[in-house]
Amino acid sequence: MTNHRAPWMLLTLAFLIWPLAAPAQQPKPMLQIEYGYPEQPPFAYTDEHGQAAGHYVRFLKEMFKRAGMPWRATAYPAPRLMYNLEQGDAVNFSVLVYNPKLDACCIWGQLPVWYDELKVYHIGDKAPIRRKGELNGKEIITLSGFAYGGLITYINDPANHIRTQPAGSHEAAFEMLEAGRADYLLNYASPSEYQVLSKRKIANLKSETIEVVNRYFVISKSYPDAARMLERLEAIYRAMRNEDVRREYTR
C-alpha cells in the first residue's frame, strides 16, 4: 500500500530545517574600525574644515580601502584616547608610540609604522639633556596623557626626583616653557616643529634628542579576532611600504 503522507512529511521537514540553515549562509557585517588620534601634526590632526588630515590619515585611507574595511577617524585629547582604547568602544584602533598602559586592553603591532625624535627643549644657557638620567632632579613640562614610549614611568618614579608641569597641548607646552614655568620641555620633534615652532619664534630656544621612538598599530582586544585583523593590516602596510606607496602619503 502506497504511503501518501510520506511526500508531505518530507516537504514539511524541509521547510522546518531551511530557516535554521539559511542564516548560517549570511556573511557577518564587518565591524567598523574606529581610529582615534591625538592632535599631532603632521601625522594626524583636524584641519580647518574639521576633517581628519595628515600622514596617517592619508595612508590609512588607502590601507583600509585595500582591506575592504569601513573606518572612521576621530580626534581625542590624549588622556581620553587612552580611556577610549581601554574601553574598546568609541575607539578600537590607533597609531601610537608604545604605552604600557594599553597592554591589558590592546594588542600592539610588531612592524614600526613611523618614528619620531623625543627632544628636550630649553631656553638659554640651561645644561643640555641627552640621556634620561640627566632629567633627575629637574622640573620639566610634559604633555598630559603622553607616555613617551614608556619614559613616563621613569619620570614618575619618586626615586628620580623629577617634578612635572602638565600641559594640555603642544602650544600650551611651549608657552609654559617661554613663561619660565619649568626649565625643560619634553616633546616629540615633529609636532613641535610643525604645529608650534614653524609659526612662532622663541628666542634662544635649544633642544637635544633624548630618544628615537617608533610608532605602531594598536588594536583593542574587543575587536573580533583582533590578533588576526592586526596581522592582516600589517601585511597590507608592508606591501604598501615595499611598493614605496607610503611615500605618496607623506608629502
Residues 147 and 79 in one domain: no
Q: Which domain holds residue 174?
A: 117-213
Same domain, 218 and 186: no
Give me the residues paired with residue 120 across strands.
186, 208
Query: Do residues 104 and 64 share a domain?
Result: yes
| C-alpha span between 245 and 237 (Å, rounded) | 9
pTM: 0.76
**Tens-of-pLDDT digits for all 251 residues of the chain?**
445 445 444 444 444 444 444 444 443 455 899 999 998 888 899 999 999 999 999 999 999 999 999 999 999 998 999 999 999 889 999 999 998 889 999 999 999 998 899 999 999 999 999 999 999 999 999 999 888 988 999 999 999 999 999 999 999 999 999 999 999 999 999 889 988 999 999 999 999 999 999 999 999 999 999 999 999 999 999 999 887 654 555 44
Q: Looking at the domain assignment, is residue 47 inside a domain?
A: yes
Residue 6 within a domain: no
On whether residue 155 sits in a domain, the answer given is yes
Domains contained in the chain, number:
2
Same domain, 152 and 164: yes
Residues 224, 208: one domain?
no
- The C-alpha angle 90, 169, 78, rounded to 5 degrees, equals 25
Distance between CA 162 and CA 182 in Å, rounded?
11
CATH of the domain at 209: 3.40.190.10
Q: Is residue 4 part of a domain?
A: no
- Regarding whether 188 and 65 lie in a shared domain, the answer is no
